[in-house]
């Protein structure tokens, strides 16, 4: 029987994904104790946002590496320039989590505007026995700005269409087949909206795309929802804006230094904080794991993984 192909696991993966990987591949866990000679001969890697970043230091020790399969659609955990320099294909799990992340985003949006976690805490603390919970702001009549109208942004927009609210968006360019108004900058979008939902990729190009000026433009009844990456929002500017009433509230799923959430955010009542839950359901995490494995298997079998990221598409034979 032929030896199973070797895969380095540099990722935090669900047990069901690990078990499925092990049936098909010979697995090596990335650790300080891993024999450098083994590392040097491994052709494939499984990575994830939830584990450490993958960069030049590791790739330089892996001259045989040809593919990194990421567990996640965002791949800002991988240094793409280094991957390209080493001729390494990168794949993601695009297409299997869009609806789940969009569902979570709508939940976070409603929880933030209607103050659902605060209301839950109020009931548990016996507050209702003493009087009514204060009236909340509303989603009614709002314009929702989607910062990054990609696969997930569009799944969010489809849901919001059903809520009868106005939608606008910003990306680097307007999309010909999209009917919502496009704005040429994050600040212009924020000025035209009173909810801003960030769902762009992370990385250098989008670092602090939502800054103090964007928050000012969103205004005192404005609500920021960040389901993109922590790096997309200037967290210090956000804390200041929430404290000063520059915006009304924020719903956050992602942070600059996960899993550490700044104490200043924890202390605020006008923010809803989730621990990076966008895709975190059993069924979707399982589908992401399967897509990651299918990418590896397709590459070993045919040289053509299912969902290579655009930057490394030209490396696919
Ligand atoms: P996608 O289909 O590639 O869409 C990304 C969108 O962002 C595109 O519409 C793109 O439009 C826009 N964009 C890219 N760079 C931009 C820039 N510099 N300035 C302004 N707009 C920019 O990606 P997706 O699958 O929807 O995922 C988006 C991101 O969501 C992921 O990369 C990940 O970081 C995050 N995410 C978070 C969770 C979670 O658990 N919270 C789960 C999944 C994904 P243009 O090309 O026109 O600029
Ligand atoms: C996951 C995500 O939490 O897909 C993404 O980009 O942010 C989430 O689905 C993460 O990727 C798991 O590693």
193 burial via Cβ count (<10 Å: 0-12, 13-18, 19+): buried
In this model, does residue 1 exceed pLDDT 70? no
- 152 within ligand 1 shell (Cβ under 6 A): yes
- Mean pLDDT score, 87-103: 98
CA of 258 to the centre of ligand 1 (A): 19
Verify that 103 and 204 share a domain, yes or no.
yes
Per-residue pLDDT band for 32 (boundaries 50, 70, 90) equals confident
Q: In whole angstroms, give the CA distance from residue 254 to residue 272.
A: 11
In a domain, 1, yes or no: no
Contact 24, 4 (CB under 8 A): yes
The pairs formed by 16-24 with CB atoms below 8 angstroms and a separation of 24 or more are 16/286, 16/289, 17/71, 17/285, 17/286, 17/288, 17/289, 17/290, 17/292, 17/293, 20/289, 20/290, 20/293, 21/46, 21/289, 21/293, 24/293, 24/296, 24/297
pLDDT value at residue 46 = 98
Beta carbon of 74 within 6 Å of any ligand 2 atom: yes
**Inside any domain, residue 70:** yes
Distance from Cα 101 to the centre of ligand 1, integer Å: 12
12 — pLDDT class (breaks 50, 70, 90): confident
Mean pLDDT score, 174-182: 98
Please report the pLDDT score of residue 230 as a whole number.
98
Ligand 1 pocket, mutate which of 73, 198, 279 (most atoms under 8 A from CB): 73
Over residues 35-51, the mean pLDDT reads 95
Of all protein residues, whose CA lies closest to atom 4 belonging to ligand 1? 150
Q: Left, alpha or beta for 132 (phi > 0: left; psi -120 to 50: alpha)?
A: beta
Is 138 in the same domain as 169?
yes
Q: 115 with 85, same domain? A: no
| Ligand with minimal distance to 188 CA | 1
Q: Is residue 200 part of a domain?
A: yes
Q: In the chain, pLDDT over 90 holds for what percent of residues?
A: 97
Q: Is the CB of 23 under 6 A from ligand 1?
A: no
185-222 per-position pLDDT tens digit: 999 999 999 999 999 999 999 999 999 999 999 999 99
The answer to whether residue 32 is domain-embedded is yes
pLDDT higher at 32 or 76? 76
103 shares its domain with 248: yes
Find out whether the beta carbon of 254 lies less than 6 Å from any atom of ligand 1: yes
50 C-beta closer than 6 A to ligand 2: yes
Question: Which ligand lies nearest to the CA atom of residue 52 in the structure?
Answer: 2
For residues 40-56, average pLDDT = 93
Indicate whether 171 pLDDT > 70: yes
The arithmetic mean of pLDDT across residues 27-46, rounded, is 96
Dump pLDDT digits (tens) for 258-276. 999 999 999 999 999 999 9
- The reply to whether 74 and 153 lie within a common domain is no
Determine, yes or no, domain membership for 264: yes
Q: Is the residue at 194 inside a domain?
A: yes
Q: Catalytic amino acids?
A: 229, 258, 276
Same domain, 124 and 86: no
Q: Which domain holds residue 62?
A: 6-96+282-315
Q: Are residues 81 and 167 in the same domain?
A: no
- Give the residue whose CA is nearest to atom 14 of ligand 1: 200
Residue 102, ligand 1, Cβ within 6 A: no
Any domain includes 44: yes
Confirm or reject: Cβ of 253 under 6 Å from ligand 1.
Answer: yes
Is residue 156 domain-resident? yes
Is there a single domain that holds both residue 170 and residue 233? yes
186 touches 213 (CB < 8 A): no
Q: How far, in Å, are 25, 28, 70 from residue 36 at the CA level?
A: 19, 12, 22
Task: Compute how many other C-beta atoms are within 10 angstroms of the C-beta atom of residue 73.
Answer: 24
Mean per-residue pLDDT, 9-25:
95
Ligand 1 site-directed mutation target among 94, 200, 207, 254, most atoms within 8 Å of CB = 200
- 103 and 90 in a single domain? The answer is no
Q: Please, which pLDDT band fits residue 36 given cuts at 50, 70 and 90?
A: very high
Residue 51 has what pLDDT?
A: 82
Residue 317 has pLDDT above 90, yes or no: no
Q: Let me know whether 234 and 302 are in one domain.
A: no
Q: Tell me whether strands 271-273 and 89-91 are parallel, antiparallel or unpaired.
A: unpaired
Neighbours of 217 (CB within 10 A): 21
Between the CA of 105 and the centroid of ligand 1 the distance, in Å, is 14
153 lines ligand 1 (CB under 6 A): yes
Q: Please give the distance, rounded to the nearest whole angstrom, from the Cα atom of residue 245 to the centre of ligand 2.
A: 31
**Does ligand 1 lie within 6 Å of residue 202's CB atom?**
yes
How close is the Cα of 309 to the center of ligand 1, in Å? 12
CATH code of the domain covering residue 107: 3.40.50.720
Together in a domain, 32 and 92: yes
pTM of the model: 0.97
Whether 2 has a pLDDT exceeding 90, the answer reads no
Mutate to test the pocket of ligand 2, among 279, 283, 289 (most ligand atoms within 8 A of CB): 279
In ligand 1, the atom with minimum distance to the C-alpha of 200 is: 7
Provide the number of structural domains found in the chain.
2
Under the banding of pLDDT at 50, 70 and 90, the label for residue 49 is confident
| Together in a domain, 142 and 250 | yes
């Amino acid at each position: 029987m032929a030896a199973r192909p070797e895969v380095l696991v540099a990722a935090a993966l669900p047990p069901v994904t690990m078990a499925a990987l092990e049936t098909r591949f010979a697995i090596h866990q990335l650790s300080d104790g891993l024999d450098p000679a083994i590392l040097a001969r491994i052709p494939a890697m499984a990575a994830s946002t939830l584990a450490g970043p993958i960069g030049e230091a590791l790739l330089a020790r892996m001259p045989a590496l040809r593919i990194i399969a990421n567990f996640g659609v965002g791949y800002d955990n991988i240094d793409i320039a280094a991957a390209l320099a080493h001729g390494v294909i990168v794949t993601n799990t695009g297409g299997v989590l869009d609806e789940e992340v969009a569902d979570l985003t709508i939940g976070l949006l409603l929880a933030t505007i209607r103050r659902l976690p605060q209301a839950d805490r109020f009931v548990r603390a016996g507050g209702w026995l003493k009087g009514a919970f204060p009236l909340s702001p509303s989603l009614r009549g709002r314009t929702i700005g989607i910062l990054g109208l990609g696969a997930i942004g569009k799944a969010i927009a489809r849901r919001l269409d059903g809520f009868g609210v106005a939608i606008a968006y910003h990306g680097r360019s307007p999309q010909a087949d999209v009917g919502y108004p496009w704005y040429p900058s994050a600040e212009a979008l924020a000025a035209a909206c009173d909810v801003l939902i960030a769902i762009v990729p992370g990385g250098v190009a989008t670092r602090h795309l939502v800054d103090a000026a964007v928050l000012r433009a969103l205004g005192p009844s404005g609500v920021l929802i960040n389901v993109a990456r922590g790096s997309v929002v200037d967290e210090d500017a956000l804390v200041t804006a929430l404290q000063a009433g520059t915006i009304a509230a924020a719903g956050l799923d992602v942070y600059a230094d996960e899993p550490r959430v700044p104490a200043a955010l924890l202390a605020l009542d006008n923010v809803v904080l989730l621990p990076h839950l966008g895709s975190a359901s059993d069924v979707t995490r399982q589908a992401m794991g399967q897509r990651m494995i299918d990418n590896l298997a397709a590459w070993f079998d045919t040289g053509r993984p299912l969902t290579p990221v655009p930057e490394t598409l030209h490396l696919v034979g």
